[in-house]
Amino acid sequence: ELLELLESEWLAKEISSKSPEGNADMPGAFLWDYRTLKKVLSPDELKVATIAFSLEPTGNIPLETDPLGDYYNLNSLRSKNSSQEVADKLQLSVEVVSMALTTIKSKLLTHRRNQIKTTSESTLTVKDLALVLRAQILRANHTGSSAHLDAAKTTANRILSNYWKPKKGLFRISANLTMVPARCHDAMVVGRSLNELYQATLDQHWLKSATAIVDHSIEQFGFSGEILTELAQEEQIVPLRQFSVSMIFGESTLGISDQTLSRLYALTKKEVYGGILDAHRRYIARQAEGRVVYHTDYISSCSLGDSALVAVLQGDISSQLGKQFIATL
């Protein structure tokens, strides 16, 4: 159901994100100074709000949570007293207090919306589509529906037609005149998804597309050695060896590259893929000497992948039995 919602509302309408511009913590946005509250609320409403939210002219952010005084004079609107407690202190009924709080929240929300300028992004990135493609493939494998498999092919064709330019490379964003080159992480996520589509269909077109994108990425990001970098050399401000190698291995550029290249190496036996995989193992071995988490996460990333590891296949995968085996996986 969630995937169907993404397809109908997100992919079809290309809705991506909306976020506030500039400093979202200015008074009247998410934290409030007392002067702004006095301006927005009536005197009676301010009395209710002061008790309900423990408002103070000098702010209600505790010193222990703000030792540097960054939020001095600002108030958070976290409810600290119940409606009954507010009613008792002001000698009002609970119903009157509840209605007042509803009005207060409505006024402050309106003020916040007027204060904050938002920027919206309606362009889908190639990584967004690649992750959706992977989910569509898993759904098709589970249901066996040809319609679900066709939906995956449509997404894959959209990636190749809009974001992949064979002579220029893969683009992270491709909309009208906006062309933003892909990073290594983007390319490896796309390569993995296209390879999984090949596994589901045995259509060589998807395997060739995956290898073409990965090969171009190796030329683009492999300038500093055997381990691929996240950015091309001309785009690097500081030497960025690898993206997020210290986080969960399977979600890092190194981990995604390892998953993608392992599968492609098993299918193509390209020496360049094997060389990069050997470099990964040497890198992980060094890290594991000091931090066991690298080693255990590396193993779990390889063994608990969402799709079968093609790297374990032996023999002639082009034979009828080999094709049946891959289709089963």
Say if residue 95 is in the same domain as residue 217: no
Tell me how far apart the alpha carbons of residues 156 and 88 are, in angstroms, rounded to a whole number: 63
In a domain, 27, yes or no: no
- Between 326 and 213, the higher pLDDT residue: 213
Q: Which CATH number characterizes residue 305's domain?
A: 1.50.10.20
In a domain, 63, yes or no: yes
DSSP code for 122: -
Say if residue 171 is in the same domain as residue 319: yes
Say if residue 203 is in the same domain as residue 300: yes
In a domain, 106, yes or no: yes
87 contacts: CB under 8 Å, gap ≥ 6: 93, 94, 96, 97
Are the CB atoms for 268 and 212 separated by under 8 Å? Answer: no
Structure tokens at 161: 């037609």
In a domain, 1, yes or no: no
Cα–Cα separations (whole angstroms), residue 8 to 17, 142, 148, 158:
16, 20, 14, 15
Say if residue 192 is in the same domain as residue 312: yes
DSSP code for 206: H
> Which one, of 104, 103, 12, lies nearest residue 55 by Cα?
104
Say if residue 145 is in the same domain as residue 221: yes
Rg (CA), the chain: 27
In a domain, 7, yes or no: no
Please compute the mean of the pLDDT values over residues 205-215 and round it to a whole number.
Answer: 95
Amino acid at 223: F
**pLDDT value at 329 more than 70:** no
The residue ranges of DSSP E strands in 45-86, in sequence order, are 74-75
pLDDT at 295: 44
Q: How many structural domains are present in the chain?
A: 2
Are the CB atoms for 166 and 212 separated by under 8 Å? Answer: yes
In a domain, 76, yes or no: yes
pLDDT at 122: 57
**pLDDT value at 25 more than 60:** no
Please compute the mean of the pLDDT values over residues 46-62 and round it to a whole number.
Answer: 90
Q: Which pTM value belongs to this model?
A: 0.57
Among 44-58, 133-147, 280-294, the minimum mean pLDDT is found in 280-294
Within a 10 A sphere around the Cβ of 166, how many other Cβ atoms? Answer: 11
Range of the domain at 187: 126-328
Q: For the chain, how far is it from start to end, CA to CA, in angstroms?
A: 24
Say if residue 49 is in the same domain as residue 154: no
- Between 120 and 115, the higher pLDDT residue: 115
Place of tokens 């002001």: 90
Last residue of a domain, one of 63, 95, 115: 115
Say if residue 90 is in the same domain as residue 212: no
Say if residue 46 is in the same domain as residue 78: yes
Say if residue 176 is in the same domain as residue 285: yes
Tell me how far apart the alpha carbons of residues 188 and 170 are, in angstroms, rounded to a whole number: 11
Last residue of a domain, one of 115, 143, 166: 115
pLDDT at 310: 39
In a domain, 262, yes or no: yes
Tell me how far apart the alpha carbons of residues 143 and 189 are, in angstroms, rounded to a whole number: 23
Place of tokens 């408002």: 55
Please compute the mean of the pLDDT values over residues 240-257 and round it to a whole number.
Answer: 62
Say if residue 147 is in the same domain as residue 238: yes
Please compute the mean of the pLDDT values over residues 137-166 and round it to a whole number.
Answer: 92
Among 35-44, 55-64, 107-116, the minimum mean pLDDT is found in 107-116
What's the pLDDT tens digit per position in 5-18?
A: 677 766 666 554 44
Say if residue 78 is in the same domain as residue 218: no
| Position 286 confidence tier, pLDDT thresholds 50, 70, 90 | low
Helices and strands in the chain, H and E counts? 13, 7
Say if residue 222 is in the same domain as residue 86: no
**pLDDT value at 78 more than 70:** yes
In a domain, 144, yes or no: yes
| Position 167 confidence tier, pLDDT thresholds 50, 70, 90 | confident
Residue 20 parent element (H or E): strand 17-20
Helix, strand, or coil (residue 188)? helix
Last residue of a domain, one of 115, 148, 171: 115
> Which one, of 204, 200, 212, lies nearest residue 159 by Cα?
212
Tell me how far apart the alpha carbons of residues 224 and 211 are, in angstroms, rounded to a whole number: 21
